Copies of this chain bind each other. A is one copy, B any other.
């Protein structure tokens, strides 16, 4: 394959004509395909259907301490749920609070609480002139939406395969008191599928924040979401590292079963130091009488223990692996050597990150849409939706069927090629 960058103008023009013809053909098919969101497929949801039968009308619905899970009571999670989810989150049951159906909601509420009431007795952020968050980018659009919603200034930090640019993180966190937090998806990151290295985690734990109320928002959304049985990324547990480094209160870790059981009907948790959890509880006590304990019980009785969760995740992997491999194979086959794009090759998570030639991402996503394939909006992976290089595109291969996915990726690579040629011809602005 000849690199596009080495083609003559004539070659490019000929290529463009050819690609344009293919594109018109594809458009004529009237496809309706969606690679935009990290949604499980219907087959994945089928895996968990027996969870619907696990609590029945004849059952005793008490938790192990004898509390009736059907009634009010138990603020921060039934003990067996704390143990199960604690094991998944790699913390002790007393280092965890079990919440409702959405860890994103817990993160939002954490920011809201910091705004109105402050973190562990510190000044409420609403009383401060300036609050900043570091945003390793590309990153998760819904994180960025939360901080944007509260008028928090977002500072992009570059992401590398081993994690965020720690020189930049250290400089901002240790020197700027208005930096109050950082968004992290440390394992199988959204959108790259990167996992932070031991060195990066260690540098996180050893930060010396200028702000006493600086917190790492450690969204371990994909903690057990491996694609392979053997080849897996390993992430050092952050709470322990922070404690060892003398920073026990510096991190909030979030997890959920959204992509284990049912999205929207799972259970979420936060793991943190006692001081932090007490701070959470003070708010929670006023905010709600308690979360859905029947759903906690349902999860515990279904999964039983960590082995149960792992066995379950292997079933998800069997459905996800071919999807990821099909996308990667197609990218490889169609784009390798053309010098018009790079992409990540994750061992887990829900996404593949694609970097197009600078200035092409928006155009590619628009072209794909015109041909009936919905991608995540270009720019969404950056704070304020603004990718300074207009290059990053998030590919979400989980939701479509294999057949749909094959069609969708074909459209995508075609759009990448066409846009790149136009760019090289000076036809993309």
* Cβ of A281 to closest chain B Cβ, rounded Å: 13
Cross-chain contact B105 with A288 (CB below 8 angstroms): yes
Cross-chain contact B149 with A286 (CB below 8 angstroms): yes
Given the interface contacts A265-B295, A287-B105, A288-B108, does A52 sit within 8 Å of B56 by beta carbon? yes
Asked if A192 is at the interface (CB within 8 A of a chain B CB), the reply is: no
Asked if A262 is at the interface (CB within 8 A of a chain B CB), the reply is: yes
Asked if A263 is at the interface (CB within 8 A of a chain B CB), the reply is: yes
Cross-chain contact A71 with B286 (CB below 8 angstroms): no
A286 to B142, CA, bound (A): 7
Given the interface contacts A49-B57, A52-B59, does A104 sit within 8 Å of B292 by beta carbon? no
Given the interface contacts A53-B57, A57-B53, A59-B52, does A72 sit within 8 Å of B291 by beta carbon? no
Q: How many copies does the complex hold?
A: 2
Asked if A139 is at the interface (CB within 8 A of a chain B CB), the reply is: no
Cross-chain contact A264 with B287 (CB below 8 angstroms): no
* Cβ of A404 to closest chain B Cβ, rounded Å: 16
Asked if A115 is at the interface (CB within 8 A of a chain B CB), the reply is: yes
Given the interface contacts A45-B71, A150-B116, A262-B70, does A102 sit within 8 Å of B50 by beta carbon? no
When C-beta atoms are compared, the residue in chain B nearest to A50 turns out to be: B57
Asked if A27 is at the interface (CB within 8 A of a chain B CB), the reply is: no
Q: Which of A36-44, A157-165, A210-218 forms contacts with chain B?
A: A36-44
Q: Which of B42, B142, B291 contacts A101 (CB 8 A)?
A: B291
A265-283: which residues lie under 8 A (CB-CB) from chain B? 265, 283
Cross-chain contact A112 with B104 (CB below 8 angstroms): no
A197 to B109, CA, bound (A): 38
* Cβ of A284 to closest chain B Cβ, rounded Å: 10
Asked if A146 is at the interface (CB within 8 A of a chain B CB), the reply is: yes
Q: Which of B39, B116, B289 contacts A102 (CB 8 A)?
A: B289
In the complex, chain B residues whose CB is within 8 Å of the CB of A112: 112, 116
Asked if A423 is at the interface (CB within 8 A of a chain B CB), the reply is: no
Cross-chain contact B72 with A37 (CB below 8 angstroms): yes
* Cβ of A66 to closest chain B Cβ, rounded Å: 12
Which of A's residues lie within 8 Å of B, judged by CB? 37, 39-40, 42, 45, 48-53, 55-59, 61, 68-73, 100-102, 104-105, 108-109, 112, 115-117, 124, 126-127, 142, 145-146, 149-150, 262-265, 283, 286-295
5 A-B pairs (CB sep. < 8 Å): A53-B56, A104-B289, A108-B288, A115-B116, A116-B126
